[in-house]
Amino acid sequence: MTAIALFALLGLAVGSFLNVCCDRLPLRQSIISPPSHCGLCGKKLKVVDLVPIFSYLWLRGHCRYCGARIPLRLPLLEVGTALLFALLCWHYGLGPQLPMALIYACIFLVVFVIDLEHGLILDIVVYPGMVLALIFSFFWPELGWPGLGVLSALLGGAIGFGLMLVPYLVSGGGMGGGDVKLAGLIGLAIGFPYVLIALLTAIITAGVLAIALVASRRRSRKQTIPFGPFLAAAAMVALVWGHPIANWVIGIF
């Protein structure tokens, strides 16, 4: 219990860093320097302004210096990261998989936010993620089909990439190439057969949401919604619950 609380706190701090990544990576800025500053007045933020969540609540969501509204995404991502870190600590315990799962969570959270806000899936996030996933697969042989080991990751990557390549080629650019690479990364990370669960979950949830948005007239039929956030979220679901979901699906048939 103490460990879960500690990892939630770690998640708050890491979430604060992920916010910096989400702000700067799409603009091709360094995530290390300059230090955090207000997005509007540019004033350098002090340590007291940077305490996750508490600064936001204390300042009531406004910049201390110019009064500009602080985007709600900042506290949301901090809390989201904290909850995800707590969940992963609870799920994996303090085993060797935990640090790898935490890093996957960070990658998929950044992909989720940047695609939602900019409609972009950045190579600078996906490519290093692929390299890490390939390395991790040597240390996490249980992930994926029993006995396949590293092959499960390679197979998963090929299947993810290949399955998304088809709609990409058919749509003639209607779907972004970033989604194809992201599906490859997800396959490498969570392996075969869980990549299939992730893809299926993403397609079903995106479809349901798209129908709901069109039906409620919040979106026209021609407006597209980015698919990356669904893929990223589904990847985390399949990472944690892939095994029971697979058993459940097999049970149905």
Q: CA dihedral in degrees (71, 84, 160, 169; nearest 10)?
A: -10
Q: In this complex, which beta carbon is closest to Zn ion, that of residue 20 or of residue 68?
A: 68
Tell the smallest beta-carbon distance from residue 13 to Zn ion (Å): 22
Tell the smallest beta-carbon distance from residue 65 to Zn ion (Å): 5
The stretch near Zn ion (CB under 5 A) out of 35-43, 96-104, 135-143, 145-153 is 35-43
Is 66 an interacting residue with respect to Zn ion (CB under 5 A)? yes
d(CA 74, CA 238): 26
Q: In this complex, which beta carbon is closest to Zn ion, that of residue 71 or of residue 99?
A: 71
- Taking a C-beta distance cutoff of 8 angstroms, is the pair 139, 96 a contact? yes
Q: What are phi and psi of 62, to 5 degrees?
A: -130, 150
SS3 assignment, position 160: helix
Tell the smallest beta-carbon distance from residue 30 to Zn ion (Å): 20
Tell the smallest beta-carbon distance from residue 155 to Zn ion (Å): 50
Is 5 an interacting residue with respect to Zn ion (CB under 5 A)? no
The stretch near Zn ion (CB under 5 A) out of 26-34, 58-66, 104-112, 141-149 is 58-66
Q: In this complex, which beta carbon is closest to Zn ion, that of residue 63 or of residue 121?
A: 63
Is 38 an interacting residue with respect to Zn ion (CB under 5 A)? yes
The stretch near Zn ion (CB under 5 A) out of 4-12, 36-44, 186-194, 221-229 is 36-44
Pick from 3, 5, 6, 41 the residue near Zn ion by CB under 5 A.
41
Within positions 145 to 204, which residues make up the interface with Zn ion, using CB under 5 A?
none
Tell the smallest beta-carbon distance from residue 197 to Zn ion (Å): 44
Q: What are phi and psi of 47, to 5 degrees?
A: -55, -40
Is 63 an interacting residue with respect to Zn ion (CB under 5 A)? yes
Tell the smallest beta-carbon distance from residue 74 to Zn ion (Å): 13
- What distances in angstroms separate CA 84 from CA 7, 11, 74, 236, 247, one per listed residue? 9, 8, 15, 9, 24
Q: With the C-alpha atoms ordered 31, 33, 36, 39, is the resulting torsion angle positive or negative?
A: negative
d(CA 238, CA 197): 6
Is 90 an interacting residue with respect to Zn ion (CB under 5 A)? no
SS3 assignment, position 135: helix
Tell the smallest beta-carbon distance from residue 68 to Zn ion (Å): 5
Is 37 an interacting residue with respect to Zn ion (CB under 5 A)? no
Q: What are phi and psi of 37, to 5 degrees?
A: -145, 165
Return the closest-CA partner of residue 160 out of 128, 121, 200, 132. Answer: 200
Binding site residues, Zn ion, CB under 5 A:
38, 40-41, 63, 65-66, 68
